[in-house]
Homo-oligomer: A and B are copies of this chain.
Amino acid sequence: MEHEILENIKTTDDIKKLNIDKLEMLCSELRDEIISKVSETGGHLASNLGAVELTVALHYVFDSPNEPIIWDVGHQCYSHKILTGRDITGIRTEGGLSGFPKSAESEHDLFVAGHASTSISAALGIAEAKKISKSNDSVVAVVGDGAFSGGMIFEAMNNAGRSKTNLVVVLNDNEMSISPNVGAMAKYLANIRSKEGYFRFKDNLEHMILKVPAIGKGIYSLLRRIKTFFKDMFYSSNTFEHFGFTYLGPVDGHDVEMLIRTLKRAKSIRRPVLVHINTLKGKGYGPAEKNPSKFHGVAPFYKESGELKKKSGDSFSNAFGKILCNLAENDDKICAITAAMTDGTGLRDFSEKFPDRFFDVGIAEEHAMTFAAGLAAGGMKPVFAVYSTFLQRTYDQILHDASIEPKHVVIGIDRAGIVGGDGETHQGIFDVPILTTIPGVTVYSPFNYSELEANIKNALSGKGVQAVRYPRGSEKNVPEKYNKAYGNYDYFEGSSDCLLITYGRLFSEAAFAAEESGASVLKIGKIFPIEHELIEIAKKYKNILFFEESVEFGSIAEHFGNMLKKSGFNGKYEIHCVSGFVPHMSVESAMELHGLDCESMKNAVKEALK
């Protein structure tokens, strides 16, 4: 398929010159381009296909980058990237574009986003700055319905509604965020959606009446009052209006013409407006329409069939889910909590087997943590499964609600360590530093599934906050000699005066490196608090090398180093950690770059023993 319209879009101004027919063709070409390219590299497909018409209409009506578009979560921005002159070939792979908005790529991306519910706060800040600078430019935030379960959205709405800014919030309602969403807000939106057509009717009517010269305005005024009455009848309960927004919608999010008319009106209102549009995740690609959850973040697939090119194998997430199900069979106090990640965290089976003890709270990590503390206070054994990067949101809840007066909450930290294609916004390299600042928190980091099981059992029989962190993907191999049932720590004595200290997935790299270099290995399973026995073992060495998938400040290595120092250790130690934010690239590439792969370890041993 030729992309004749798309090929002629050199700047976003070119979009504004197209007529409706051409705009519709452009949408079709964008859709084709996205399906083709994502089928090759993998990426976020369903959400991007749902936002094609919206993106075209936004660039038609608003003047980006002066009127910036802030994408919530950011994984629906592929059309935006293409229309602003970027080639999505190889997206999310090293050297290709980021899968999320990124300022470094384009002036049209003013804000990075990979976590949900931040867009209105950011957009309101920009809008207030424009107001202070006496600019009349609009600022647009595009938010999915899923993100509306996040507290920040409400904090922002509460402030935005009363602001005197030209803020346009587009609620992209696809009846489903990552997992089908939950809660009162979802139900409420469903209720509004059922009144679809009202806006179109109202819009047409007004249009018609205003065309009648002279008397038009009088009738319009009368009708306005009638309309207000009817509107109150139909929409008497519009929460967005309570927040001070002018509400427009719901409109068909795949009707470019209607979108343009609505957005133009929103722009003309010159106060905070919420435009509610209905879209279909995966729109225009059969397999994705049928199974939007599978095609949310998808691996490379055959475009014709939608089949994945490689079967997805086992994973820590699935192992976690199975282990928890087995334990819950025999312990009716075990509860599982997820923040809109039932599938991602491997909890699908749990949710079906134990619906009364399963809680999907929506994208609401802060609530999830304190809710878990509440379950614990009520005598349950709550297990909150959450990606490391999203755990960052719950620092205060872990500290204030679950640790000052310890509540026995187990946290299953998924995607701990380097994550690959999602890049900076999704790396799991901060959980160890922040958890270890909180008095009383215990942290485990298993190497394989059987250790994961042992860790979860320990965590469930422990006290206070107990975290078990495990990486994305599947368990790895080690040479025979290192393959055993792991305890809180395991010590493998080598032949040289060099000790490698590590945990989790990196143990595989370390074991192979030790095998070849003769170094010893201290593998920690319970990584925090650091047991004194570990210091005693380490002290026997003159050369200690730490390898850790974490930033350095606040790492286990740093804590361990200080404990060594206190114990009178006078040898050398070196810390090999992740430095800075890690952009999108394969896990393997990132490991090499940060000196955490087997080769780097071997070289480090050589250097240390020189």
Please give the residue numbers on chain A whose beta carbons come within 8 Å of chain B beta carbons, in ascending order.
Answer: 102-104, 110-112, 114-115, 118, 121-133, 149-159, 161-162, 182-185, 187-188, 232, 236-239, 241-244, 332-333, 335, 356-357, 359, 361-362, 364, 366-367, 370-380, 382, 392-393, 395-397, 399-401, 403-405, 424-425, 430, 433-434, 436-439, 551-554, 558-559, 561-562, 565-566, 570, 573-575, 579-581
Q: Which 7 pairs across A and B sit closest by C-beta, in order of nearness?
A: A125-B374, A151-B151, A129-B378, A155-B367, A155-B364, A121-B370, A158-B183
B382 touches A125 (CB 8 A): yes
With a CB–CB cut-off of 8 A, which chain B residues contact A359?
A: 128, 159
Instruction: Give me 23 A-to-B residue pairs in the complex whose CB atoms sit less than 8 angstroms apart, sorted by A's number.
Output: A102-B405, A121-B401, A125-B370, A125-B372, A128-B359, A128-B371, A128-B380, A133-B379, A151-B153, A151-B366, A152-B370, A155-B361, A159-B182, A159-B367, A162-B182, A184-B244, A239-B242, A366-B393, A433-B433, A434-B437, A553-B559, A558-B558, A561-B562
With A118-B370, A161-B183, A374-B124 known as contacts, the answer to whether A395 contacts B434 (CB < 8 A) is yes
B434 touches A129 (CB 8 A): no
With a CB–CB cut-off of 8 A, which chain B residues contact A579?
A: 439
In the bound complex, what is the Cα–Cα distance between A170 and B133 (angstroms)? 43
A404 to chain B minimum Cβ distance, whole angstroms, is 5
B562 touches A439 (CB 8 A): no
With A154-B154, A405-B112 known as contacts, the answer to whether A159 contacts B377 (CB < 8 A) is no
With a CB–CB cut-off of 8 A, which chain B residues contact A127?
A: 374, 378
A122 touches B425 (CB 8 A): no
B151 touches A103 (CB 8 A): no
B129 touches A158 (CB 8 A): no
Greatest chain B CB density within 10 A among A126, A242, A371, A393 is at A371
In the bound complex, what is the Cα–Cα distance between A380 and B124 (angstroms)? 13
For A370, the closest partner residue in chain B by CB is B121
A123 touches B237 (CB 8 A): no
8 Å CB contact of A379 from B103, B129, B244: B129
A404 touches B581 (CB 8 A): yes
8 Å CB contact of A561 from B103, B335, B561: B561
With a CB–CB cut-off of 8 A, which chain B residues contact A131?
A: 356
Given known contacts A111-B377, A155-B361, A155-B362, what 12 new A-B pairs fall within 8 Å (CB)? Answer: A112-B400, A125-B375, A128-B335, A158-B183, A184-B242, A185-B243, A187-B244, A239-B239, A393-B396, A433-B434, A439-B551, A565-B573
With a CB–CB cut-off of 8 A, which chain B residues contact A239?
A: 239, 242
8 Å CB contact of A374 from B121, B154, B241: B121
In the bound complex, what is the Cα–Cα distance between A356 and B372 (angstroms)? 41
A474 to chain B minimum Cβ distance, whole angstroms, is 28
With A371-B124, A425-B400 known as contacts, the answer to whether A392 contacts B395 (CB < 8 A) is yes
With a CB–CB cut-off of 8 A, which chain B residues contact A553?
A: 436-437, 554, 559
B437 touches A551 (CB 8 A): yes
8 Å CB contact of A401 from B122, B377, B430, B438: B122
In the bound complex, what is the Cα–Cα distance between A150 and B367 (angstroms)? 11
By secondary structure, the A interface counts as helix
With a CB–CB cut-off of 8 A, which chain B residues contact A404?
A: 112, 424-425, 581
A356 to chain B minimum Cβ distance, whole angstroms, is 6
With A377-B126, A404-B425, A405-B103 known as contacts, the answer to whether A121 contacts B371 (CB < 8 A) is yes
With a CB–CB cut-off of 8 A, which chain B residues contact A150?
A: 151, 155
8 Å CB contact of A375 from B126, B236, B424, B434: B126
In the bound complex, what is the Cα–Cα distance between A131 and B359 (angstroms)? 13
With a CB–CB cut-off of 8 A, which chain B residues contact A118?
A: 370, 397, 400-401
With A372-B125, A575-B562 known as contacts, the answer to whether A115 contacts B161 (CB < 8 A) is no
With a CB–CB cut-off of 8 A, which chain B residues contact A366?
A: 121, 151-152, 155, 393
With a CB–CB cut-off of 8 A, which chain B residues contact A121?
A: 366-367, 370-371, 373-374, 401
A2 to chain B minimum Cβ distance, whole angstroms, is 36
In the bound complex, what is the Cα–Cα distance between A76 and B552 (angstroms)? 42
With a CB–CB cut-off of 8 A, which chain B residues contact A184?
A: 157-159, 161-162, 242-244
B377 touches A110 (CB 8 A): yes
With A367-B152, A553-B559 known as contacts, the answer to whether A434 contacts B434 (CB < 8 A) is yes
A436 to chain B minimum Cβ distance, whole angstroms, is 5
With a CB–CB cut-off of 8 A, which chain B residues contact A158?
A: 149, 183-185, 362, 364
A380 touches B122 (CB 8 A): no
With A151-B150, A159-B183, A561-B562 known as contacts, the answer to whether A392 contacts B400 (CB < 8 A) is yes
In the bound complex, what is the Cα–Cα distance between A133 and B381 (angstroms)? 12
With a CB–CB cut-off of 8 A, which chain B residues contact A380?
A: 125, 128-129, 132
With a CB–CB cut-off of 8 A, which chain B residues contact A111?
A: 373-374, 377, 401, 405
For A403, the closest partner residue in chain B by CB is B581
A125 to chain B minimum Cβ distance, whole angstroms, is 2
B377 touches A129 (CB 8 A): yes
In the bound complex, what is the Cα–Cα distance between A430 and B400 (angstroms)? 11
With a CB–CB cut-off of 8 A, which chain B residues contact A367?
A: 121, 152, 155-156, 159
In the bound complex, what is the Cα–Cα distance between A349 and B495 (angstroms)? 69
8 Å CB contact of A129 from B183, B375, B437: B375
In the bound complex, what is the Cα–Cα distance between A62 and B397 (angstroms)? 27
In the bound complex, what is the Cα–Cα distance between A443 and B488 (angstroms)? 36
